[in-house]
Amino acid sequence: MSSEEVVGGTVLDEDWYAAELAEASWRDCVFREVDLTEAVTTGCRFTDCTFDRCRFNASVHRGSAFVACTFTDTSFFDATLEGCRLDGSSFGGCDLRPLTVSGGSWWGVSLRGADLRDQDLSGLRLTEADLTEADLRKTTVRGSDLSGALLRAARLDGADLREATLVGADLTDAAVRGARLDLAGALALAESLGAVVDA
């Protein structure tokens, strides 16, 4: 794959099964019904791209970036993301389970209503992420940065929120039965619900 940036292209119904992509770059491109099953990307960059009805099943991404991208009806079944940037990207109608995630930045990502049950999202930068109505039951976000994140009506039952940064997070109407919190998290939750906490 050429290291030159591809700008404004359209990739339609192509088979990229088990493709190995390294240091490649795409901007303002549309990927529609592209099969990336078992593909491997290393240091690739996708900026302002659209992925519609694509398949990332069992794919592996190392140090790649999907910045300000839009994913619709796309499957990430059994995909692996290692140190990837998803900053500003949005997901709608996507299959995101199971995922293997190791570090990375998901700043400002939109995952409204996403099903992320039982996933390990620990140590992620989820600053200002939109997780409104997301299903995070039994999900681990331990040590993640959820500063300013929207968690309105999110399902956090049984989730592990220990050591997570929740400063400024909106947890209005979130379900937190059985969620594991440390003291700082408990205080942030109380303040989000309107309590006045005296130090």
Query: What are the pLDDT digits (tens) for 9-46?
Result: 999 999 999 999 999 999 999 999 999 999 999 999 99
Label residue 197 by pLDDT band (50, 70, 90).
low
Specify whether 122 is located in the same domain as 154. yes
Q: What is the residue range of 156's domain? A: 110-194
The average confidence (pLDDT) of the chain is: 94
User: In this predicted structure, which of 64-68, 76-80, 190-194 has the lowest mean pLDDT?
Assistant: 190-194
In a domain, 61, yes or no: yes
Instruction: Quote the pLDDT of residue 183.
Output: 87
Over 80: is that where the pLDDT of 195 sits?
Answer: no
In a domain, 147, yes or no: yes
Specify whether 26 is located in the same domain as 116. no
Over 80: is that where the pLDDT of 144 sits?
Answer: yes
Specify whether 21 is located in the same domain as 37. yes
Specify whether 55 is located in the same domain as 85. yes
Report yes or no on whether pTM surpasses 0.85: yes
Looking at the 3D structure of the chain, how many domains does it have?
Answer: 2
In a domain, 81, yes or no: yes
Show which of 69, 90, 105 is a domain's final residue: 105
Instruction: Quote the pLDDT of residue 3.
Output: 62
Specify whether 123 is located in the same domain as 171. yes
In a domain, 50, yes or no: yes
Distance of CA 133 to CAs 28, 139, 169, Å?
29, 14, 14
Q: What is the mean pLDDT of residues 50-57?
A: 98
Specify whether 85 is located in the same domain as 139. no
Instruction: Quote the pLDDT of residue 189.
Output: 79
Q: What is the mean pLDDT of residues 61-83?
A: 98
In a domain, 199, yes or no: no
Show which of 55, 76, 105 is a domain's final residue: 105
pLDDT tens for each residue of 126-135: 999 999 999 9
Instruction: Quote the pLDDT of residue 129.
Output: 98
Domain CATH number, residue 140: 2.160.20.80
